[in-house]
Amino acid sequence: MRQLTFLFSAGIILCLIQTPVFGHNQTSVKKQESTSVGGKTGSKEGAGTTGTYLYQKKEEYQKKAEEKLNRLEANVKQLYLRAEKKGERAREKITRAADNLRKKSESAKNKLKDLKESGEEKWDIARDELDSMLKDLERTYNRTASKFKD
């Protein structure tokens, strides 16, 4: 009878340990579940698969961003070449605009470098910042190029 009472008491204690205490919300439990990988909290297999997937996505994004940045830099070089063929006043305007684009390009390059070196927790922020910089660079280039068409 004592063993039965002891087992019953131990079972109740275990249930109480797993039950949230009044005054505590269950967000910590939900957070823990939402951070699980592949529905398996703490599963090495799921973490590895997802980690590989995230790594591939990161690499793919970085490659595309680098290609876009290289393409935009080549376009800026073309602006400098156009400037050489223009008169002095137009050449100054184009050169100023191209210098501005080059500065934006350098900033985007630095952000890409930061992105490559960032950890998972800061990667999303760095990616969003780089996206914004590349869009601005492309928009500025398109406006500048349309002003100085041959």
pLDDT tens-place string over residues 26-62 = 433 333 333 333 333 343 444 457 778 878 888 999 9
pLDDT value of position 36: 33
pLDDT value of position 111: 93
pLDDT value of position 3: 59
Residue bearing the bigger pLDDT, 34 or 104: 104
Sorted by sequence, the CB contacts under 8 Å of residue 82 that are 6+ apart come out as 94, 148, 150
Give dist(CA 94, CA 81) in Å, integer.
10
Which uninterrupted H or E stretch holds 97?
helix 88-117
pLDDT higher than threshold 90 for residue 72: yes
**40: DSSP letter:** B
**Confidence grade of residue 1 (pLDDT, cut at 50, 70, 90):** low
Residue bearing the bigger pLDDT, 65 or 53: 65
Phi, psi of 118 (to 5 degrees): -80, 150
Are the C-beta atoms of 41 and 32 separated by less than 8 Å?
yes
pLDDT value of position 68: 95
Ranking 6-20, 25-39, 73-87, 91-105 by mean pLDDT, the lowest is 25-39
Q: In the chain, what percentage of residues exceed pLDDT 90?
A: 38
Give dist(CA 5, CA 7) in Å, integer.
6
Query: What global pTM score does this model have?
Result: 0.62
Ranking 13-17, 87-91, 138-142 by mean pLDDT, the lowest is 13-17
pLDDT higher than threshold 70 for residue 118: yes
Give dist(CA 86, CA 59) in Å, integer.
41
